């Protein structure tokens, strides 16, 4: 393990020198590729540096005990050594997990699609709540959000909202959010105070570069029409909304948020590329998809992954049997504990598989 970590540290230093080279910076394609590799090594190299400092501290403490001297100081050193060795064991476990091969998609930006499911207007309101939750989490990570398409309900919910999130390791953090999110609460539309159960589907798609997915003009049917708001009323006097149908697959993407037809078409193409990319990835990496199913769920949009129970202030992730009684904080974007638990579960399952 140490040999591998040393090589990664050397490569990290080499990459730092390369990305500072003016000649490399001029080649934007190569520069972007090197920056991605650098970002992928950053966490493990940082942990390894901390591990080396800890090992040095253990060696110093062990040497102090070996030399003997003041009995009280030696006794304290033995206690300290025991604590340090426990930390060493924990850190080695974390490093082993970090050395698990990373999915090349992990560094990608994403397109997230949130759609109201069963539950009528209440499902639309919860779709809006989930969008705010992910937006606040993105803000805490210094990520950028761009809305690509949205369809509002009459009471400020969303039938559907599609948006991109760009930043550092976005897909790695949010990849396990795909699936059905169930909410249990008293809807604002409920006069009798009864608790209702509604559902919202979330899809997380790695965003494809133009060079990764070729979309041929002859494979597209592009229709334009006037944008509509809640209830179907027209909100624009020009045909700025765009519907793109990908003829070979039948995929349909609609964008109408912008007043410019050109901008709506560009956004629709981004969503289309992401959906096509996801299809291709699932075909090429059937084993990876199967492994994911044994870890924390397939990401299938029909799979119920999480329940948000408002009366009990409870959120439960059913894939890893995690329950937290701080739903209010979660809805304000405090997702890290859940996301970390999902990643740890996935890595532990991977290590178990290797051990078989």
In this predicted structure, what is the pLDDT of residue 291? 43
Are 157 and 191 in a shared domain? yes
Cβ neighbour number for residue 58 with a 10 Å cutoff: 16
Residue 297 in this model has a pLDDT that exceeds 60 = no
- Hey, what are 239's tokens? 């045909």
Residue 153 in this model has a pLDDT that exceeds 50 = yes
In this predicted structure, what is the pLDDT of residue 236? 53
C-alpha–C-alpha distance, residues 23 and 133, integer Å = 42
Give the residue-averaged pLDDT of 266-270: 92
Are 87 and 187 in a shared domain? no
**What does the pLDDT look like over 60-109, one tens digit per residue?**
999 888 887 777 888 898 999 999 999 999 898 888 878 877 777 888 99
In this predicted structure, what is the pLDDT of residue 298? 43
Are 198 and 268 in a shared domain? no
Domain-located, residue 177: yes
Are 188 and 321 in a shared domain? yes
Are 300 and 158 in a shared domain? yes
Are 329 and 193 in a shared domain? yes
Q: CATH no. for residue 247?
A: 3.30.160.20
C-alpha–C-alpha distance, residues 124 and 101, integer Å = 39
Domain-located, residue 138: yes
Give the residue-averaged pLDDT of 273-296: 67
Provide the β-strand partners of residue 181.
200, 306
Are 188 and 54 in a shared domain? no
Q: How many domains does the chain have?
A: 3
**What does the pLDDT look like over 178-219, one tens digit per residue?**
999 999 999 887 767 789 999 999 999 999 887 788 889 999
Are 187 and 301 in a shared domain? yes
Domain-located, residue 289: no
H helices present in 68-180, as ranges: 71-98, 120-140, 170-174
Are 159 and 240 in a shared domain? no
Domain-located, residue 185: yes
The domain boundary residue, chosen from 77, 98, 119: 98
Find the angle CA(346)-CA(347)-CA(349) to the nearest 5 degrees: 65
For 74, the domain range is 2-98
CB of 239 within 8 A of CB of 224?
yes
Phi, psi dihedrals of residue 306, rounded to the nearest 5°:
-150, 145
Q: CATH no. for residue 157?
A: 3.30.70.1660
Residue 16 in this model has a pLDDT that exceeds 80 = yes
In this predicted structure, what is the pLDDT of residue 73? 85
Q: CATH no. for residue 50?
A: 1.20.58
DSSP, residue by residue, 117-139: -TTHHHHHHHHHHHHHHHHHHHH
CB of 203 within 8 A of CB of 271?
no
Beta pairing, strands 241-246 & 251-255: antiparallel
Domain-located, residue 290: no
Cβ neighbour number for residue 322 with a 10 Å cutoff: 15
Are 192 and 306 in a shared domain? yes
Are 253 and 136 in a shared domain? no
The domain boundary residue, chosen from 71, 98, 125: 98
Are 204 and 223 in a shared domain? no
Domain-located, residue 131: yes
Domain-located, residue 287: no
Residue 235 in this model has a pLDDT that exceeds 60 = no
**What does the pLDDT look like over 128-152, one tens digit per residue?**
999 999 999 999 999 999 999 999 9
Domain-located, residue 199: yes
């Amino acid at each position: 393990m140490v040999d591998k970590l040393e090589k990664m540290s050397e490569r990290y230093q080499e990459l730092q020198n390369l990305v500072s080279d003016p000649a490399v910076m001029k080649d934007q394609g190569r520069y972007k590729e090197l920056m991605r590799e650098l970002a992928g090594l950053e966490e493990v190299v940082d942990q390894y540096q901390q591990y080396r400092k800890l090992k040095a501290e253990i060696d110093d403490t062990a040497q102090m005990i070996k030399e003997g001297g003041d009995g009280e100081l030696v006794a304290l050193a033995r206690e300290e050594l025991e604590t340090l060795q426990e930390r060493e064991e924990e850190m080695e476990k974390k490093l082993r997990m970090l050395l698990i091969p990373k999915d090349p998609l992990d560094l990608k930006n994403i397109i997230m699609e949130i759609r109201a499911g069963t539950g009528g207007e209440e499902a639309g309101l919860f779709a809006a709540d989930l969008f705010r939750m992910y937006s606040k989490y993105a803000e805490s990570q210094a990520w950028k959000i761009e809305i690509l398409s949205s369809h509002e309900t009459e009471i400020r919910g969303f039938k559907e909202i599609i948006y991109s999130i760009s930043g550092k390791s976005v897909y790695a953090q949010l990849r396990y959010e795909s699936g059905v999110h169930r909410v249990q609460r008293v809807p604002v539309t409920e006069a009798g105070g009864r608790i209702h159960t509604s559902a919202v589907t979330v899809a997380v798609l790695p965003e494809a570069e133009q060079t990764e997915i070729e979309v041929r003009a002859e494979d597209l049917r592009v229709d334009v029409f006037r944008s509509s708001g809640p209830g179907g009323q027209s909100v624009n006097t020009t045909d700025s909304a765009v519907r793109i149908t990908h003829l070979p697959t039948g995929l349909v993407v609609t964008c109408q948020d912008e007043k410019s037809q050109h901008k709506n078409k560009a956004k629709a193409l981004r969503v289309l590329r992401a959906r096509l990319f996801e299809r291709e990835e699932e075909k090429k990496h059937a084993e990876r998809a199967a492994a994911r199913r044994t870890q924390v769920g397939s990401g299938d949009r029909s799979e119920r992954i999480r329940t948000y129970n408002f009366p009990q202030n409870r959120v439960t992730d059913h894939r890893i049997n995690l329950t937290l009684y701080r739903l209010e904080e979660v809805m304000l974007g405090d997702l890290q504990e859940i996301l970390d638990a999902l990643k740890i579960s996935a890595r532990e399952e991977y290590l178990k598989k290797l051990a078989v």
